[in-house]
Chain A
Amino acid sequence: MPMPAETDTTSPKYLRDKYAIVGVGETTYMRGSGVTTRALGTWAVRNAIEDAGLKPSDVDGMLSYQSGDSTFSTFIAGDLGIRPSFYMDVFGGGSSTEALVGMAMGLIEAGMCKVVVIFRAMNGFSQVRIGGTGARAVAPVSGDMLHSRSYGWQSAGQMFSPTFMRHMYDYGTRPEQVAAVKAIHSEHASNNPKAFYKKRVSVAEVLASRIICKPLHLLDCCVETDNGTALVVTTAARARDCRHPRTLIRGVVGRCSKPRTDMHYQDGPISTVAGHYAREILWPNAGVGPEDIDVTGSYDAFTFTAMLQLEDYGFCKKGEGGAYVSDGTIRLGGRRPNNTSGGHLNEGYTHGLNMVIENVRQLRHDADDSCPMGPDGKRRHTYDYREGGCRQVKKCEVTANMGWANPGTGSAMVMRND
């Protein structure tokens, strides 16, 4: 059968720069939202569509992720007047964001829809506690969880800590090195008016906070919040007509995993995480390497997760993650800032989506800090990173997001500006 005349046969193998994130949106980051996840999702998706300069009727694809703790695409679509030609709500938390961006690209590439919204809506503090307390902690133990929850091995911190401890054992990583992740991200959050925690904390304060489960102090752990977050993905061509400068997607790797996903600890070294495998897809797909990245968004469910991924994606040598995150590199004004919004440790917990939002804004040169607004409605960034000041990175052309599900599974994405 001859192909229709308008069929695009020019797709490069890796779809580099062929798709773009054109809209980002979120609710405020709260504890005690007082509304349903449906209301949070609708709020965030509306903001993202508005940010793109599109109308709900322009959106024909929807993707979301959740763990039995949120509403579905169909209800958000109903609230906003979206008629989906495609929708899917997948099971998952961290690592879903980048993976779904890759799926959105594939959906559009396959001609199944044209503009895709991705959202995550959660009452992670007031309904299903992300730390695992509440209903999840008292549910009957059965199936595969007989070999974990029966031992008081259930929450994310408990489940990941053998990886963190073994990294300290294998490489001599020190508590104060890893605590620097929290201290530095808290500096970034102090320049983010929408961050849930805006107070700067020191390495000493992290180390003096109580132990949750070794090696995690309270302040090594992220905040639990209620919020909705959303992205809009469409073609790079269509992105030219949207409101903001284009944020082009260079490459994606989605839910790349270590062997033995049924129980990743069976495969060693357990101090190595999924990024070790994912980087072999990410960097060739993106056509760049770690040295080309200006800003990173390494998932900080815990201080350790940010460090481990930066190491295994190759931003430093294996085993040197502790030095990398504590030598000033990842601080605003440093060589390669990480999580300039304050991340999960400070801004709010979204299972990764807010870190992509932040990097889109960085690439637009439009970080929503407290810098003065110019007559054109754009901020005049000062690059003064003192408390309450600027958080825009001066030179930000290429970014990398690294999403974390657990030590055994991760996703990542490289974006650039025009």
Chain B
Amino acid sequence: MALQATYLGMPLDVNDLDVENLAYFKHCAAHDFHLQKCGACGLVRYPPTTACPWCANPESEWVPVDARGAVHSYTEVHHAIQPAFKAHTPYLVLLVDLDTQKGKPGEHEALRVVGNLATPDGGLAPPETVRRVGIGTRVRMVFSDVAPGLALPQWTIDEGAAQPAKPWRYPQE
């Protein structure tokens, strides 16, 4: 069934035909991160696709994935483009390498999952938290509840993990 909701004033629309995204967000709504696992080669992939990017097999099953990892790269947005984000600058867009399947199938590959830096309850992180995060920061997944049946995966600092002494941040603050 189609999902339509408003998040930060932004209309989100997952239509009836988009069965991969419907399945993805259904799991997110239960605060349970699942990705597609290929029925042939067994590799997990992100974001949702209609066939395996490595072996082209169309069969897959949704499997739970341990969503912890380290920031691979990021941008820190000061001038928001979308009106919905203007009240939340500066905000971080993080590319996070999951520990799950890191270095597979090739040494430079990873499940590189997008999300904003968020508070543990899924809200966009305040500026003082933004300043603590850079490449290498250990993060764990949390969810922003958008509506019944729809939540967005987000990242928050993994306070229980061993953090790098000084994550890499853009040199000009």
Contact = CB atoms under 8 A, between A and B. Distances in A.
Contacts of B83: 137-138
Interface string B70-83: 00111111111111
Contacts of A265: 95, 112
Contacts of A267: 106, 108-109
A214 B76 contact: yes
B74 A165 contact: yes
Contacts of A151: 93, 114-116, 152
A172 B111 CA distance: 25
B7 A158 contact: no
A222 to B, nearest CB: 15
B73 A166 contact: yes
Given A140-B12, A142-B14, A149 B78 contact: no
Nearest to A175: B172
B121 interface: no
B10 A213 contact: no
B168 A260 contact: no
Contacts of B53: 259-260, 262, 266
A169 B13 contact: no
B135 A152 contact: no
Interface in A189-215: 207, 210-215
A174 B81 CA distance: 26
Contact of A152 (B47, B91, B110): B91
Which of B10, B11, B81 lies at the interface centre, i.e. has the most chain A CB atoms within 10 A of its CB? B81
Interface residues of B, number: 48
Nearest to B79: A212
Contacts of B135: 165-166, 169
B84 interface: yes
Interface string A251-274: 000000001101101111110000
Nearest to B107: A268
Interface in B30-68: 45-47, 49, 53
B109 A212 contact: no
Which of A153, A154, A158, A259 lies at the interface centre, i.e. has the most chain B CB atoms within 10 A of its CB? A153
Nearest to B2: A142
A154 B116 CA distance: 13
Interface residues of A, number: 47
A85 interface: no
B82 A137 contact: yes
Given A153-B114, A174-B171, A265-B95, A211 B12 contact: no
A158 B77 contact: yes
B168 A213 contact: no
Given A141-B13, A265-B112, A266-B112, A162 B74 contact: yes
B14 A152 contact: no
Given A146-B21, A212-B78, A270-B72, A158 B170 contact: no
Given A141-B12, A168-B170, A152 B77 contact: yes
A144 interface: yes
Contact of B75 (A131, A158, A169, A266): A158
Given A169-B168, A213-B75, A152 B82 contact: yes
A2 interface: no
B163 interface: no
Nearest to A267: B109
Given A152-B80, A158-B81, A165-B74, A266 B18 contact: no
Interface in B88-133: 88, 91, 93, 95, 106, 108-112, 114-116
Contact of B10 (A131, A141, A175): A141
A162 B21 contact: no
B156 to A, nearest CB: 14
A148 interface: yes
B81 A146 contact: no
Nearest to A143: B18
Nearest to A153: B93
A131 B79 CA distance: 11
Given A163-B73, A166-B135, A147 B93 contact: no
Interface of B: 7, 10-15, 18, 21, 25, 45-47, 49, 53, 72-85, 88, 91, 93, 95, 106, 108-112, 114-116, 135, 152, 168, 170-172
18 contacts: A132-B81, A138-B82, A141-B13, A143-B18, A150-B7, A152-B88, A152-B116, A155-B81, A158-B75, A163-B73, A165-B75, A213-B76, A213-B78, A214-B76, A215-B75, A265-B112, A266-B45, A266-B111
Interface of A: 131-133, 137-138, 140-144, 146-155, 158, 161-163, 165-166, 168-169, 174-175, 207, 210-215, 259-260, 262-263, 265-270
Given A137-B82, A213-B75, 9 more contacts: A149-B82, A161-B75, A207-B172, A214-B75, A214-B76, A266-B45, A266-B46, A266-B110, A266-B111
Closest 8 CB pairs of A and B: A268-B108, A161-B75, A162-B73, A152-B85, A142-B13, A140-B11, A166-B73, A214-B76
